Structure 1
Amino acid sequence: MPGSPKVLIAGAGPVGLTLANELVRHGISVRIVDKAAQRTDKSKALVMWSRTLELFDDAGYVGAFLSAGLQAHGAQISTGKQVVARVSLDLIDSRFAYGLMIPQSETERILEERLAAAGVTVERCVELGGFTDRGDSVEASLIAAGGARETVRADWLVGCDGAHSTVRHGLGFAFEGSTLQSRWALADGHVTGLEPQDHLHIFWHRDGILAFFPIVGDRWRVVADLGAGEGEGGDTDPTLDDINGLMARRGSPGIVMTDPIWLAAFRINERKVKDYSRGRVFLAGDAAHIHSPAGGQGMNTGIQDAFNLAWLALVIEGAARPALLDSYSAERSAVGEKVLRNAGRLTEMATMRNPLLQDIRNTIVRFAASFPQVQHKVADQLGEMDIGYPESPLTAASGQLPDGPKAGERWPHRLAGGAGGCRFTVLGPPDLVAGLVAKFPRLAVAAPGQSAADTMTLRLIRPDGYVGFAGGPQEAARAEAYLAALAC
């Protein structure tokens, strides 16, 4: 889509593609550019967790992902000889109670094809050369293959351009954190000898972790910690013999890989910016935060950044005040900090080398996993069910409520396939709902098919599926004031 878009997106990975799809779904013009000649053909980010699936479901297009992925229903941790713990992902408090194992190549394909069907083509071999925030717009320089330059003026610029983000560098934001000293090996190939095949298999061996993640059929992702100085070759990619040797030493007997699709070595970075935006420029995904792959939270966190940032549509449409956008950095930076901390703890626990500490860890984890409430909590944390915005400027403290989600918490029910568009869904007594929708038609829409229990409370559900306001019917004036503070 040449010309001057409302939003220019740099980076066409899962985060940039999700943001583009959501903005286009809300009628906002976008251009999305990427310096790569084609989308990735690697499995890369492999799991789509429950909360992400819920958001795609609310948006109306989760089905394509479900058809292309494999449901993982559990995780097993063992030493190779003895099971330490089993976690059932069926315990996740979601209508998608599992991890969807889907290669990033497939995730990008689905998102790019959907975007193309809406009339927007990813502009490939096009690099963001620089930008200037003019106050009322952003002026950006685009460099095409061969060096041709184009100056583009957009209302907003979003950097979804990864760990080496040009947008982040242009803002001058510090990417604070560190690179872990341990080296890791990754392999994607065909594996036999693992059962059940719909589980993640994690081996806590004396020499380090060995983890298996199902992809489809007999194809698995294998990841192993090599320590800071184990073996020769520095950061050179492992061979198939290296991987099979690791599996023979650390796994249970009989596990073998053949026909590898991808072999790579990597190190873990844990870094994050403090602020996710300045002026008319925003950061999302790896451009704002990178962390350990433990728990598979990275891509999911970035996609959820995109759903949150799609609130841009309310401001662009003129339905909400620009101050609404101030909530993005406050909310998502706090989530990024939490994900960084949790992933770091999981990595530290899995990679400890001291045999005595390993025995203590195994004993504690085995004991804790015997309690159903602990199992449930772990499953919900993996599924990202515990993400909320209790301290957000958009969260109005709940009054006296019966059971149910409070302000700042996730709304567990489907939002009618995105029928409400980029508006608040109002639930409550029909007369109060009708009154609020009539006063704020550009901000609010009535929830279809309310139950009797819904009429005992008054709730405003944000477009990204979190409760903004919750109170009793007698607090209708507070709900009206909440919407009035956002409305133009």
Structure 2
Amino acid sequence: MTEILIVGAGPVGLTMAAELARYGVAVRLIDRSPHATETSKALVVWSRTLELMDRMGCTQAFLDAGLRAPGASIRSGGQVLGAPRFADIASAYNFALMIPQRDTERLLAAHLRSFGVAVERQVELIGFTEAADGIAARLRHVDGREEIVRTPWLIGCDGAHSAVRHGLGLAFEGSAQGDDWLLADVRLDGAGTPPPDEIATYLHRDGPFVIFPIPGRRARVVATVGRTDAMHERPDPTLDDVQALVDRRAGGGFRVSDPVWLTHFRINERKVAEYRRGRVFLAGDAAHIHSPAGGQGMNTGMQDAVNLAWKLAMVVRGEAGAPLLDSYSPERSAVGDLVLRNAGRLTDMATLSNPAAQAARNLALRFLLGLHAVRDRMATTMSEIEIAYAGSPLSRGPEAGERWDPHADAGPPPGSGPAPRFVLYAADMTRGAALAARFPTLLEPDPRRPPDGRFLVIVRPDGYVGLSAARWDEAERYLQALAPKPG
């Protein structure tokens, strides 16, 4: 009963499995689908996720495969209302990396295989029961064979229809947004085509029309197309339908061709109240789904995985006490609430139907997006670099919970080694080394000098400030609370 069972091999499950395997924790990753995602689906990897990939050791493969979008535009009636740029995002990755989900999964699966772990496909979780010391999970294989697996921890990364969430009986509270949306993965040609590395949003009285660049001079087109009642299913769109939307909402001037994916979807905004129950965890779409506005969904899910993986690894390896795991749900649930709220606001703004409200919105956007500070705030929010854990049980002292600047010093990123460790930054290096020697399972052995003159900082393995203090006894108490208990 040594392998942790992860259900769902999308980007979130692959990230979870790869991080645990990197830390030397045995994992088993199953998925009921016979093959990986074959469509573009989630398209953007944002700055904070790329920074976390530095710890994972797979950033370069994504940079090589993706397209760097330096900015976005918001247009209406043939005019540009504003053009947020990403260059001022306070990260080495000051751009939106456009990469289809099929490639994200391919690259993460390759990264996972480098640790000797492969996805087991056509294996489905059909039930589980929990005991004090673990989980008994019932699996069904494609040939009908059933298997009972004993696992110490079960992690549901199995999407919006999560079997793990259903097995826990957790409510997935929220609602469906009323509009149907068209999605088309096509090629664009013509003089009126927006720049091939720009996310272009057209606000029209009939509804928004958005173009996302895809590597290979392709594009994702998304637009509202009205409402249908639950009794009538809208047929898949045609290329002519997409061209009609281009001509009406984007002013024409370019043609669509070579479709590889044409579909409709409806936005759901739902979330569980808790991401953990006992020995079972939820991450990604199994825990939260929301509007694709801002491209936050996959990034939020992958960051769920990074957050949980180092904590679970430290507990499984006996390097931290089990209460460390209590921080996962409050930290990531608060982030889920924030992303849900921000994405919902963007969608509501874009889909205003009242002409007077639309005119007021456009006027306000023209003014606000003319302000450098507003453009910066929009870019920073989308990049997710300001996500923080101020209210976490792991955060102590001023600035605790904030992202530690990954380029603040010359050392390797916290958490990039073969074992998850907190990093101590201390003005007194001798005393810092002595503290690290007293907590060898929690701290890296070599303290670092604070780059900004602070007295004492402890940075978590995922690159967030855990403790910011002016006294050594505060650090001692902080680490003592995290340490594994004897016996």
TM-score interval, normalised by the smaller of the two chains: over 0.9
On the 8 A contact 2:23/2:419 being kept in 1, the answer is: yes
Q: Name the aligned partner's letter for residue 244 of structure 2.
A: G
Structure 1 residues without counterparts, runs of 5 or longer: 399-405
Partner of 2:481: 485
Residue 195 of structure 1, CA deviation:
3.0
Partner of 2:189: 192
TM-score norm. by structure 1 comes to 0.94
Identical positions, percent: 52
Residue 447 of structure 1, CA deviation:
6.0
CA distance in 1: counterparts of 2:393 and 2:482, whole angstroms? 11
Partner of 1:476: 472
Bigger Cα displacement from structure 2, 476-485 vs 23-32: 476-485
Partner of 1:461: 459
CA distance in 2: counterparts of 1:423 and 1:480, whole angstroms? 16
Partner of 1:250: 249
Residue 216 of structure 1, CA deviation:
1.0
CA distance in 1: counterparts of 2:264 and 2:440, whole angstroms? 53
Residue 178 of structure 1, CA deviation:
0.5
Describe the SS at the equivalent of 2:257. strand
Partner of 2:298: 299
Q: Which runs of 4+ in 1 moved over 6 A?
A: none
Describe the SS at the equivalent of 2:291. coil
CA distances 1:126-171 after superposition (whole Å, capped 9, x unpaired): 0001111111111101100021011110110000000000000000
The answer on 1:136 being equivalent to 2:133 is yes
Residue 316 of structure 1, CA deviation:
0.3
Bigger Cα displacement from structure 2, 149-158 vs 364-373: 364-373
1:306-455 alignment, distance < 5 Å: 306-310=305-309, 311-398=311-398, 406-413=399-406, 416-417=412-413, 418-419=416-417, 421-429=419-427, 430-446=429-445, 450=448, 453-454=451-452
On the 8 A contact 1:49/1:383 being kept in 2, the answer is: yes
The answer on 1:161 being equivalent to 2:158 is yes
CA distance in 1: counterparts of 2:234 and 2:433, whole angstroms? 62
Aligned residue-pair number: 474
Q: Name the aligned partner's letter for residue 110 of structure 1.
A: L
CA distance in 2: counterparts of 1:469 and 1:452, whole angstroms? 13
Partner of 1:49: 46
The answer on 1:176 being equivalent to 2:173 is yes
Q: Name the aligned partner's letter for residue 262 of structure 1.
A: W
CA distance in 2: counterparts of 1:108 and 1:203, whole angstroms? 30
TM-score norm. by structure 2 comes to 0.95
Describe the SS at the equivalent of 1:120. coil
Q: 1:256 to 1:456 in 2, by over 3 A?
A: same
CA distance in 1: counterparts of 2:300 and 2:464, whole angstroms? 15
Partner of 2:5: 8
Structure 2 residues without counterparts, runs of 5 or longer: none
Residue 78 of structure 1, CA deviation:
0.3
On the 8 A contact 2:457/2:468 being kept in 1, the answer is: yes
Partner of 1:402: none
Describe the SS at the equivalent of 1:12. coil
Q: 1:265 to 1:447 in 2, by over 3 A?
A: farther
CA distances 1:32-86 after superposition (whole Å, capped 9, x unpaired): 0000001011000000000000000122221111111000100000014111111
Describe the SS at the equivalent of 2:87. helix
Partner of 1:403: none
CA distance in 1: counterparts of 2:450 and 2:326, whole angstroms? 36
CA distances 1:69-104 after superposition (whole Å, capped 9, x unpaired): 000100000014111111001121111000100000
Q: 1:192 to 1:457 in 2, by over 3 A?
A: farther
Partner of 2:275: 276
CA distances 1:179-224 after superposition (whole Å, capped 9, x unpaired): 1110000000111232321110000011110000001132000000
Residue 385 of structure 1, CA deviation:
1.6
On the 8 A contact 2:75/2:201 being kept in 1, the answer is: yes
Q: Name the aligned partner's letter for residue 473 of structure 2.
A: A
Q: CA RMSD in A?
A: 1.6
Partner of 1:214: 213
Describe the SS at the equivalent of 1:87. coil
